[in-house]
Amino acid sequence: MATDSRDREPTPGNDGSSRDDEYADHLERSRTVWDRWSDWYGMSERDFEPMREAAIDRLALESGDRVLEIGCGPGVNFERIRTDIGESGELVAVDYSPEMIEKARERIDAHGWENVDVRRADATAVEFEEPFDAALATLSLSVMPDITRAVETVYRSLVPDSTFVVFDVRPFPDGPARVLNPFIWRFLRWYANWNPDDDVVEALEVVFDTSEIVDTYTHGTTYTVVCEKRDAV
């Protein structure tokens, strides 16, 4: 379980140092932006559903698995994950936005899921007492203030020989449409508090033992990455 008590104000980084101003500003903007969108999330939930489903397929979850989801928002992935892991599994999901957490808890209560637990926490700093069999992040890593540290948190939290699947969004990776990227950056920054300084794919490659883009959609602007944490040597 996460060492953070359920709704305590998230603490600074794991090393106890204060976040720099930029990090703190980004995190605070995240809270404002995602609290605001929490009431208007239906369209995003519907539009991205097939890609999220395909990403969860890649986890190949089994009954009884213990799963971590970071940046869970209002819990759009819970039902599918809960179906895969069954009643004997466990899903622990974290999100920084109090309003998103509230929506996620409403969803849990409405379904009466007893093995789905949401915590308000900064995914970059949160620690868990027990490791996970698999982890998922959909549309969330790219809006976090320090993507590499968030990925390191996931890596540390997984058992050896486990999988982390990421579905995320980015500007055009190649081709003539790249001319539109400055506008897309600005839009994503405004809409989602997107982090233009870090690269999700690169962070996954650096931190995980293997990492591969397995699916791309809409000219590569949305993509799924499968990462493996290998057996300890």
Positions touching ligand SAM (CB under 6 A) are 27, 30, 34, 44, 52, 70-73, 76, 94-97, 100, 122-124, 138-140, 143-144, 192
| Pairwise CA distance, residues 55 & 103, whole Å | 22
Minimum gap (Å) between residue 68 Cβ and ligand SAM: 12
Minimum gap (Å) between residue 180 Cβ and ligand SAM: 21
Cα Dmax for the chain:
50
Q: Which is nearer to ligand SAM, 36 or 230 (CB)?
A: 36
Minimum gap (Å) between residue 56 Cβ and ligand SAM: 11
Type of residue numbered 37: W
Q: Which is nearer to ligand SAM, 63 or 166 (CB)?
A: 166
Q: Which is nearer to ligand SAM, 66 or 107 (CB)?
A: 107
Chain residue at closest Cβ approach to ligand SAM: 73
Helix spans in 86-193 (H): 98-111, 147-157, 181-192
By the 8 A CB rule, do 122 and 27 touch?
A: yes
Which residue, among 131, 118, 22, has the nearest Cα to 70 in the 3D structure? Answer: 118
Q: Which is nearer to ligand SAM, 110 or 179 (CB)?
A: 110
Q: Which is nearer to ligand SAM, 70 or 116 (CB)?
A: 70
Which residue, among 32, 159, 13, has the nearest Cα to 96 in the 3D structure? Answer: 32
Minimum gap (Å) between residue 179 Cβ and ligand SAM: 25
Minimum gap (Å) between residue 38 Cβ and ligand SAM: 7
Distances (CA, A) of 84 to 46, 69, 185, 197, 228: 20, 14, 35, 35, 20
